[in-house]
Structure 1
Amino acid sequence: MTNQPLSSGNPRVDIEYRRRKSAEEMRYQVISFTLMIFLTLVAFAAVAMKGFTEWFIVPFILLLAAIQVVFQLFYFMHMSHKGHEAPTMFLFSGLFVGLTGILAFLTIVWW
């Protein structure tokens, strides 16, 4: 795979391309921010409602938190862009090792 030049040689085309990409990136960030606010409101509503037990609420809030972390990593920290494959791999590898360690210690303590 060859590297493509960043500019086409035509300044007007380059400016239009950057404007279009910037507008698209901003739209993704606004949508992601709106979804994160919505998930936060859902978490508050789940706690405020009387019909749910804490055995449902705690895992539900942790799931919503994990979704928000993914949104923040991929849209606000720009990990969805090209060139961020290695940091993404190391981040998820560390997460896997950490969760495996927590699971191992929990099983040792519980049994």
Structure 2
Amino acid sequence: MADEHLSTPFEKSAMTAAEKRAMKKEIKHQMIMFVLMLFLTVLAFAAVAADVVPHSFAVPFILILAFVQLLLQLLFFMHMKDKDHTWATVFMVTGIFVTVPTIASLMLLIGTVKY
């Protein structure tokens, strides 16, 4: 039968030994970052739920943790730390420069912020 070769293990890989080591290292980094993201999320919930953080600093504390998570996700899960991501970076920065003034102007129009 033609399907017999599907049950036999594939001995050779197209990856070199160095590429396999790099892949294992990348997977290890991603797992560490995933656990760190979970820790930061639990830290934000626990700090507010247990009233560890003063009420006046609760929102800035959560925003700081969210910003750290955003940077880590961009660098590790979206691979922005790797080379050849120039266009992705350009589009993200352009999006930020369009989004921030839009949100600020809408907040002023709606009356959320009164200046």
Q: Same fold (TM over 0.5)?
A: yes
Deviations 1:55-95 (A, max 9, x none): 31112112212221222222122222222111112112212
**Equivalent in the alignment of 1:32:** 33
- CA radius of gyration, larger in: 2
- Equivalent residue for 2:88? 87
Normalized against structure 1, the TM-score is what? 0.72
Q: Which amino acid aligns with 2:90?
A: M
Alignment length (residue pairs): 99
- 1:75 aligned to 2:73? no
The alpha carbon displacement at 1:104 in A equals 4.0
Q: Which runs of 5+ in 2 are unaligned?
A: 1-12
Mapped partners of 1:18, 1:24: distance in 2? 10
Q: Tell me, what secondary structure is at the counterpart of 2:16?
A: helix
Per chain length, whose mean CA-contact separation is higher, i.e. which structure has more relative contact order (CA < 8 Å, sep 6+)? 1
Q: Tell which deviates more after alignment, 100-109 or 40-49.
A: 100-109
**Aligned-partner residue type, residue 77 of structure 1:** M
Letter in 2 for 1:25: E
* 1:9 match: none
**How much is the aligned-residue C-alpha RMSD, in angstroms?**
2.3
CA distance in 2 between counterparts of 1:47 and 1:35 reads 18
Q: Take 2:39 and 2:52, find their aligned partners in 1: how far apart are those partners?
A: 20
Amino acid at match of 2:21: R
Give the aligned residue type for 1:16: A
Runs (4+) off by over 6 Å: none
The match for 2:101 is 100
Aligned residue type for 2:98: V
